[in-house]
């Protein structure tokens, strides 16, 4: 993984500048099936930097994926950008759709912890064809949608939560398990930011799930 470099950049979305960190895999042989790009979002206390420090960007790129971690509006180095709606409320699906299109990442795997559920869930439920797979990590806003909305979405999903997350863990699981094509990664002894508590289990579970995608 040492030869993989994390690059920094920015993208214009709805007239605003959003910052990102990106790791790109080495070129693969022509006969190899290309692997879907991965967009990593983050929670309110974090930014794209956590995915770099944790090694997630490097591990995904080493596994053949273009991996891009975005700083969400108003957070990290996108602090000057304004969220397209009240913080903590579902955002227009078109916002994250524009992000993916601007970055040439359609369809993408979306990794969505905590606060970022306000962006990822509207996209998942309204424009599922833009998502190759979904990895929600105890996201907010799951209770804003009825079970029948989830039941219509066939996107492969890995539901991740820590068993010590007494805020959003069980709540998000209860709602997201209405997605018909899902599996669950329950991380023992981990809290809300479970990927930080147990990076090894997180990376093993994520890479295992990605290896099952067609």
pLDDT digits (tens, 9 = 90+) for 189-208: 999 999 999 999 999 999 99
φ, ψ at 54 (rounded to 5°): -75, -20
pLDDT at residue 32 tops 90 = no
What pLDDT does residue 2 have? Answer: 43
Residue in 47, 78, 112, 114 annotated catalytic: 114
Residue in 42, 58, 192, 203 annotated catalytic: 192
Calculate mean pLDDT across residues 9-29.
90
Residue in 47, 58, 116, 165 annotated catalytic: 165
pLDDT at residue 140 tops 90 = yes
φ, ψ at 76 (rounded to 5°): 55, -135
Tokens 């539901």 appear where? 159
Structure tokens at 128: 């599922």
Q: What is the pTM of this model?
A: 0.95
What pLDDT does residue 1 have? Answer: 40
- How close are the terminal C-alpha atoms of the chain, in Å? 24
Catalytic annotation present for 114: yes
- Cα dist. 64→33, 38, 167 in Å? 10, 10, 34
For the chain, which domains are there? Answer: 6-25+34-211 (3.40.50.1820)
Catalytic annotation present for 58: no
């Amino acid at each position: 993984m040492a030869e993989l470099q994390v690059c920094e950049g920015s993208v214009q979305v709805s007239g605003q500048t959003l910052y990102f960190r990106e790791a790109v895999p080495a070129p693969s042989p022509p006969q190899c099936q290309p692997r879907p790009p991965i967009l990593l979002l983050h929670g309110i206390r974090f930014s794209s930097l956590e995915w770099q420090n944790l090694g997630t960007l490097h591990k995904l790129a080493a596994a053949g994926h273009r991996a891009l971690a975005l700083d969400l509006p108003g957070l990290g180095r996108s602090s000057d950008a304004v969220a397209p709606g009240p913080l903590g409320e579902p955002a227009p699906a078109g916002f994250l759709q524009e992000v993916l299109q601007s970055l040439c990442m359609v369809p993408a795997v979306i990794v969505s912890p905590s606060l970022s559920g306000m962006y990822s869930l509207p996209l998942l439920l309204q424009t599922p064809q833009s998502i190759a797979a979904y990895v929600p990590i105890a996201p907010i806003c799951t209770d804003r949608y009825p079970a029948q909305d989830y039941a219509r979405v066939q996107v492969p999903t890995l539901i991740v939560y820590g068993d010590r997350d007494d805020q959003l863990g069980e709540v998000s699981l209860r709602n997201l398990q209405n997605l018909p094509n899902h599996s669950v990664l329950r991380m023992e002894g981990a809290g809300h930011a479970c990927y930080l508590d147990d990076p090894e289990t997180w990376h093993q579970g994520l890479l295992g799930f990605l290896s099952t995608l067609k």
